[in-house]
């Protein structure tokens, strides 16, 4: 009798453990689905903001590699996003979506401005990441700096007109990425962390300044100050042409 009761207790414990395991897995799967949904939504909003005649790149999620060394990368017309990036961005609370927009918009800029090499957001490639370094070694460091500068300023501007607030969070997410993915501060042949942060800061200053001009152009248009509005939109369009800019210019000229 005691053996039967003991066996029953063990059986119940096993059932309870299995149930708990299934619940945890269910929440894990649901959390993954939520992450994918949020990232896809941001991705689509940003694609619309870029307003390019080019078709959107593919979007793939990195789900099963806990040793991924980058939050996102662009290669062969596909943007890959590590789902752990979503978890990292969640640590920024109300700025979580803004942080995601910074990284995703950066990779979209690489695609739309035809930076045809394998890139990653932090631009600090670990030595073990052979798949990244092969493509990057074909391009000299100065060209890499040019590409990263362009991807940063374009990425920030288009994230802002897509409705996000990327400016304050950008320096924080860059630092967080270096720490979370354990990226080296210095990699031979690539911009160091200090250089990468300087690139990001210069891009932030430029994008924020022109976004202010963009907002001024909209305000002037709303006040029927069309000449001033047209001049401001054309100023922005020199660096950041977009569907919204062209629409506004077209409306003013008609």
**What integer pLDDT is reported at residue 214 of this predicted model?**
94
**What integer pLDDT is reported at residue 132 of this predicted model?**
57
CA atoms within 13 A on the CB side of 57: 26
Euclidean distance between CA atoms 221 and 229, whole angstroms: 5
Count the Cβ atoms, other than its own, within 10 Å of residue 195: 17
Confidence band (pLDDT; 50, 70, 90) for 124?
A: very low
Q: 140-145, long-range: CB within 8 Å, 24+ apart, which pairs?
A: 141/189, 141/190, 141/191, 144/190, 144/191, 145/191, 145/195, 145/199
Euclidean distance between CA atoms 103 and 152, whole angstroms: 9
26: pLDDT strictly greater than 50: no
Higher pLDDT, 109 or 139: 109
Between the ranges 2-11, 12-21, 78-87, 162-171, where is the mean pLDDT highest?
Answer: 162-171
Task: Determine the average pLDDT of the residues in 157-186.
Answer: 92
Confidence band (pLDDT; 50, 70, 90) for 103?
A: very high
Euclidean distance between CA atoms 63 and 151, whole angstroms: 25
Confidence band (pLDDT; 50, 70, 90) for 65?
A: low
Residue of 148, 151, 92, 108 lying closest to 124 (CA atoms): 148
Residue of 196, 206, 203, 75 lying closest to 145 (CA atoms): 196
Two structure tokens written together for 246? 């062209």
**What integer pLDDT is reported at residue 182 of this predicted model?**
85
**What integer pLDDT is reported at residue 127 of this predicted model?**
47
Confidence band (pLDDT; 50, 70, 90) for 118?
A: low
Confidence band (pLDDT; 50, 70, 90) for 135?
A: low
Instruction: Tell me which of 22-36, 84-98, 184-198 is least confident.
Output: 22-36
Confidence band (pLDDT; 50, 70, 90) for 187?
A: confident
86: pLDDT strictly greater than 80: yes
**What integer pLDDT is reported at residue 189 of this predicted model?**
67
**What integer pLDDT is reported at residue 136 of this predicted model?**
56
pTM of the model: 0.80
- 3-class DSSP string for the chain: CHHHHHHHHHHHHHHHHHHHHHHHHHHHHHHHHHHHHHHHHHHHHHHHHHCCCCCCCEEEEECCCCCCCCCEEEECCEEEEECHHHHHHHCCHHHHHHHHHHHHHHHHHHHHCCCCCCEECCCCCCCCCHHHHHHHCCCCHHHHHHHHHHHHHHHHHHHHHCCCCCCCCHHHHHHHHHHHCCCCCCCCCCCCHHHHHHHHHHHHHHHHHHHHHHHHHHHHHHCCCHHHHHHHHHHHHHHCCCHHHHHHHHHHHC
Higher pLDDT, 204 or 21: 204
224-243 pLDDT, tens per residue?
A: 999 999 999 999 999 888 88
Higher pLDDT, 101 or 31: 101
């Amino acid at each position: 009798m005691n053996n039967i009761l003991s066996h029953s207790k063990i059986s119940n414990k096993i059932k309870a453990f299995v149930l708990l395991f299934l619940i945890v897995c269910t929440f894990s799967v649901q959390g993954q689905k939520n992450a994918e949904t949020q990232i896809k939504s941001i991705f689509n909003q940003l694609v619309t903001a870029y307003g390019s005649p080019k078709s959107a790149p593919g979007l793939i999620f990195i789900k099963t590699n806990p040793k991924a060394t980058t939050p996102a990368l662009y290669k062969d017309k596909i943007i890959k996003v590590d789902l752990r990036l979503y978890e990292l961005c969640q640590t920024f609370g109300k700025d979580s979506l803004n942080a995601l927009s910074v990284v995703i918009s950066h990779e979209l800029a690489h695609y739309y401005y035809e930076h045809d090499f394998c890139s990653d957001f932090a631009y600090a490639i670990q030595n073990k990441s052979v798949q990244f370094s092969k493509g990057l070694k074909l391009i000299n460091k100065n060209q890499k700096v040019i590409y990263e500068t362009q991807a940063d300023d374009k990425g920030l501007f288009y994230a802002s007109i897509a409705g996000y607030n990327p400016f304050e969070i950008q320096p924080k997410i860059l630092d967080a990425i270096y720490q979370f993915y354990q990226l080296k501060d210095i990699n031979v042949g690539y911009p160091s962390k200090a250089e990468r942060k300087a690139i990001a800061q210069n891009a932030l200053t430029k994008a924020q300044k022109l976004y202010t001009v963009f907002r001024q152009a909209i305000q002037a248009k709303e006040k029927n100050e069309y000449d001033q509005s047209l001049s401001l939109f054309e100023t922005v369009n020199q660096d950041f042409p977009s569907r919204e800019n062209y629409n506004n210019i077209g409306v003013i000229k008609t």
